[in-house]
Structure 1
Amino acid sequence: MKSVHPYAAEELHGDRFGHATTQLLPFDTNGSPHGYYAQTSPNPPPAIERSWYDPRGWSLRKRLIVAACIVVVIIAVIVGAVEGVKANAYPNYSSLNYTLANTMSGSSFFDNFEYYTAADPTNGFVQYVDSQTASQMNLTYASDTSAVLRVDTNAGNQTTGRKSVRITSTDTYDSGLFIFDVVHTPYGCATWPALWLTDPSNWPENGEIDVMESNNKATHGNAMTLHTTSGCKMNVKRKETGTSQDSNCLNTANNNAGCGVEGKKATYGETFNNNGGGVYAMELRDAGIRIWMFSRDDIPSDISNSSSPDPSSWGEALADFPSTHCDISSHFRNQSIVANIDICGDLAGASKYYSDLYDCPETCTQWAAENGASFTNAYWEFNSFKIYQAS
C-alpha cells in the first residue's frame, strides 16, 4: 500500500478485470471528516452493445422512420385486400323464370318492324328504302320458315349510294332474354351489317347493344359491343369465351369503339353460314348483359323444345358484360331490335378495315357503286326472333 496523504488511508478494490482503483475518503485520526483516506472502487461499466433490431438502442430519427414504414406497410396490406376483393367481385347471375313474351317469325316477320329511311348517321354509301320499295325490289321478304333482308345487287352505277334496308322493332324492352335464330349473315367487301338493340331517339343516353356485327369479308369473327354514356366500364372480372377488346364503353372513347368482345371465326360470316347458322342468345338484366352463340347442332334443348329457357344452364357466355362497374338498368333502357346492312361508312369504309385488313379493291364507295353483283352474299336470313321476360 502506498501513502497518498499524511492523514489518509488507502483501500484497494479490484475491478472485473483484476485492476485496482483508489478513492480518497475524508477522515482524521479521530474519525472526523478532516482528512482523506484512499478507497478503491470499480471502473464505470462499459456501454452495452445492442442488436440492430433492438429498438432500445435506436435514435429518435430511426424510430420515426421505422414507424412510418410500418404504417405504409399496413396501409398497403389494407389497400391490397380491398383491391383484391374488388378484382374478384362478380354479380349474381341467379336463375330467372323466363316466359315467352313475343315471337317474330314466318310471313308476318316484318310486321313487327318499321323501316328507317333517313340519311345514314354513320356516313354510309347507302340509301335505306321504305317497306314498299323494299318489297318491290325484293330487298325484304318472308316465308313460313324464314325472313330475308338484303342489299340491292343491281349492276347499274349507283352514284348516290347502294339501296339497302334498316328495320327497327315497334316494341321496346328494358330487360329480357332475346333468342335470335340466324341462318345466314351478310358479308363481302363494302358491307357493314349488324343485329343490335338501341333507343334510336335517345342514343347514346339509353345505350346500344351490338349482338352481331362485322364488316367487309368478315373473316375475323363476330364483334359484340356496348356503347354508353360515361360511367360504364368492363375492366372487371368476366366469365366469357370470347376475347375482350377495349374496356371503356363510353361512346366517344377509343374512336367510338365501345367495349367489345370478339368471337372466333366460326361465330360469323361464311364459316358460320356454311355450318347452317345458329342461335345467338342475349340476356339483358340488372346483373349484366351476356351473349351466347350456339352452332346449329349445339342449340340447348331448353331453347329448342322448352317455353322457359334457362341461361344459368348454358355455361360461360361468348361475351360477358357484368354490372360490377356499370349500372346496367340506368345505361340500357327502351331498347328496340334493329337489323341493317350498311355500305362503307365510318367502319367498313375506313382504310384500316377496307384495304389494310381485308384487302378490298379500289375505294369503298367506288366499289360499292359499280359492283352490284358482288353483293350476292350481303343478306340476313332469320328463322325467328323470340323474346322472353322474367316473371
Structure 2
Amino acid sequence: MAPHEKPSKYGGEQQGELSPLFGEKANLNGVSDPSTPDGEYSSKYDKYGLLSSRRLWTVAVVIVVIVTVILGFVQEEEESELEYVGPYKAKEIQKGDDFFSFYDFNEGADNPGSGGINDYVSYERAKEIGILNVTSDGSVYMGSAPSGADKSFKRQSIRLEGKTRFDRGLFVIDLDHMPAGCGAWPAFWLSDDEDWPNGGEIDMVEGINYQSKVKTALHTAAQCSMFNQFPQKVRTGTWEWAAGIYNRWSGIPDNKTLVETDNCWVSSPHQWTNQGCVTVSDQDDTLGVPLNKNGGGVFVMEWDPDNGYIRSWAFTPHNTVPENLVQALATADDKDESKRVAPDS
C-alpha cells in the first residue's frame, strides 16, 4: 500500500520501560489489556517515524479516543546523492512517561469535520478524569469520558500534536489496542496545517466505526493524481471507492457509478470533498475489533521524497513483523553506524 525537543513538562510516578521492539529480546508478542473497552486505547508503543523534507508534524485524533506515540528515524544522507544510502538513525523514541514530552495537548472543541462532539482536554484534566495513564511496563493509555458539566459536548477526549517537524523518515507505530465501534475514528496523521493542503497530509493509520481494514490516505492541492501510477502487480491493497457523488450540474447524487479514489486533490470533482487518495489494506484484521482480538500490531510508513515515494505496511498480529525490521529498530539508536541494520524495502 502506498502510502518531526523540548524538556518534558509532564511528570509521572511510574517508570516506563523500553518497548519490546527496542528490547534486547525483541519480543513482539504484545499483550492487549483485556480490561480495556473497544472504545479506548492501550499501547506498548514505540512508534518509529520516518520523514524527510516537506515539514510536517504529527497529529493523532480519534473521535472517541486519541492515540499517539512516535518513534522517528532520519535517513543518513550524502549531499552528492539522492538515493537510499543505508540504515536509519533513531530520531525520536517515544515511550513511557517521556511520551507526552513530544506532544502538545490541543484544548477546546474539535472541528466541524469531526462532528463537533469532542471537548479536547489538557494533560492535567485528562489525568484528573482518568483518561490518560502510563503503566509500569511503559504502556501509554488514552481514553475518553462523558462530557461532565459541559453538556455542549458529548465526550471529553485527547488530541495530541507533535512538537517536532519532519520532512522524511521511517515511522513505526507499535500498539496493543485501538478504539473501535460506532463513532470511533482512530487515526495517526502527519500534516502541515500552516499551509494545508499545499503542504500535504499523510494519514498513516485511519478508519472509522467497525471497519476492519486499515487505510492510508494522502490529501494535497491540485495536480496530484495517482491514476495509472501504481499497477496492481507492484502493490498490495486496493483503492477505496467513491459512490453517490453529486452531479455538479444537476445536483443529483450518482449512486450507480463507482470511482476509485486515486486523486489526492482535496477538491477532486469525482470524489467526496477532502476524500483524497485512499488505499485500503487487503488484510481483514488490521483495524478495530479484529486487530484488538489479535493483541494489536505494527504499522510502518516510509516517506522518501528523494526517491519520490510514500509506502506503508501493516503487520498484524505482532508475530508477523519481519525479523529484519525488528533488527533495524533495535540498532537504530546505536552510536556505531556500522552496527545499524537497514530494513528491507
Q: Quick check: TM above 0.5?
A: yes
Match of 2:119?
127
Please state whether the residue corresponding to 1:174 is helix, strand or coil. Answer: strand
Q: TM-score, normalised by structure 1?
A: 0.53
Q: How far apart are 1:228 and its partner, in Å?
A: 0.6
Q: 1:117·1:129 contact (CA, 8 Å) conserved in 2?
A: yes
State the distance in 2 between where 1:156 and 1:265 align.
Answer: 40
Please state whether the residue corresponding to 2:101 is helix, strand or coil. Answer: helix
Cα deviations by residue, 1:338-391 (Å, 9 ceiling, x for unpaired): xxxxxxxxxxxxxxxxxxxxxxxxxxxxxxxxxxxxxxxxxxxxxxxxxxxxxx
Q: Which amino acid aligns with 1:252?
A: S
State the distance in 1 between where 2:178 and 2:159 align.
Answer: 15
Match of 1:232?
224
Q: 2:132·2:141 contact (CA, 8 Å) conserved in 1?
A: yes
Q: Which amino acid aligns with 2:298?
A: V
State the distance in 1 between where 2:341 and 2:118 align.
Answer: 38
Q: 1:284·1:290 contact (CA, 8 Å) conserved in 2?
A: yes
Cα deviations by residue, 1:137-189 (Å, 9 ceiling, x for unpaired): 12222234211121215799944231111101101100000111111111111
Q: TM-score, normalised by structure 2?
A: 0.59
Match runs of 1:226-265 below 5 Å: 226-235=218-227, 236-238=229-231, 239-245=234-240, 246-253=261-268, 254-255=271-272, 256-263=274-281, 264-265=283-284
Q: Which amino acid aligns with 2:262?
A: S
State the distance in 2 between where 1:110 and 1:225 align.
Answer: 26
Please state whether the residue corresponding to 2:186 is helix, strand or coil. Answer: strand
Cα deviations by residue, 1:172-215 (Å, 9 ceiling, x for unpaired): 10000011111111111112221111122322121111111111
Q: How far apart are 1:93 and its partner, in Å?
A: 8.0
Q: Structure 1: 5+ residue runs without aligned partners? A: 1-91, 315-391
Q: 1:108·1:142 contact (CA, 8 Å) conserved in 2?
A: no
State the distance in 2 between where 1:260 and 1:93 align.
Answer: 27
Alignment root-mean-square deviation, CA: 2.3
Match for 1:100 among 76, 90, 105? 90
Whether 1:194 and 2:187 are equivalent positions in the alignment is yes
State the distance in 2 between where 1:274 and 1:206 align.
Answer: 37
State the distance in 1 between where 2:118 and 2:181 align.
Answer: 15
Match for 1:139 among 104, 107, 131? 131
State the distance in 2 between where 1:223 and 1:175 align.
Answer: 20
Larger radius of gyration: 1
Cα deviations by residue, 1:14-42 (Å, 9 ceiling, x for unpaired): xxxxxxxxxxxxxxxxxxxxxxxxxxxxx
Q: 1:197·1:208 contact (CA, 8 Å) conserved in 2?
A: yes
Q: 1:99 to 1:206 in 2, by over 3 A?
A: same
Q: How far apart are 1:119 and its partner, in Å?
A: 3.1
Match runs of 1:1-391 below 5 Å: 94=84, 96-121=86-111, 122=113, 123-143=115-135, 144-153=137-146, 158-219=151-212, 221-235=213-227, 236-238=229-231, 239-245=234-240, 246-253=261-268, 254-255=271-272, 256-263=274-281, 264-286=283-305, 287-295=308-316, 296-306=318-328, 307=331, 308=340, 310-311=342-343, 313-314=344-345
Q: Which amino acid aligns with 2:263?
A: N
Cα deviations by residue, 1:306-356 (Å, 9 ceiling, x for unpaired): 324534x25xxxxxxxxxxxxxxxxxxxxxxxxxxxxxxxxxxxxxxxxxx
> Number of aligned pairs?
221
Please state whether the residue corresponding to 1:184 is helix, strand or coil. Answer: coil
Q: 1:180·1:281 contact (CA, 8 Å) conserved in 2?
A: yes
Please state whether the residue corresponding to 1:171 is helix, strand or coil. Answer: strand
Q: How far apart are 1:116 and its partner, in Å?
A: 1.0
Q: How far apart are 1:118 and its partner, in Å?
A: 3.9
Q: Which amino acid aligns with 1:284?
A: W
More helix by percentage: 1
State the distance in 1 between where 2:102 and 2:225 align.
Answer: 33
State the distance in 2 between where 1:218 and 1:152 align.
Answer: 22
State the distance in 1 between where 2:284 and 2:146 align.
Answer: 26
Cα deviations by residue, 1:75-112 (Å, 9 ceiling, x for unpaired): xxxxxxxxxxxxxxxxx985643111110011211111
Q: 2:119·2:147 contact (CA, 8 Å) conserved in 1?
A: no
State the distance in 1 between where 2:341 and 2:205 align.
Answer: 21
State the distance in 1 between where 2:341 and 2:148 align.
Answer: 45
Q: How far apart are 1:304 and its partner, in Å?
A: 2.2
Q: 2:219·2:276 contact (CA, 8 Å) conserved in 1?
A: yes
Identity, % of aligned pairs? Answer: 30
Q: 1:141 to 1:277 in 2, by over 3 A?
A: same
State the distance in 1 between where 2:143 and 2:207 align.
Answer: 15
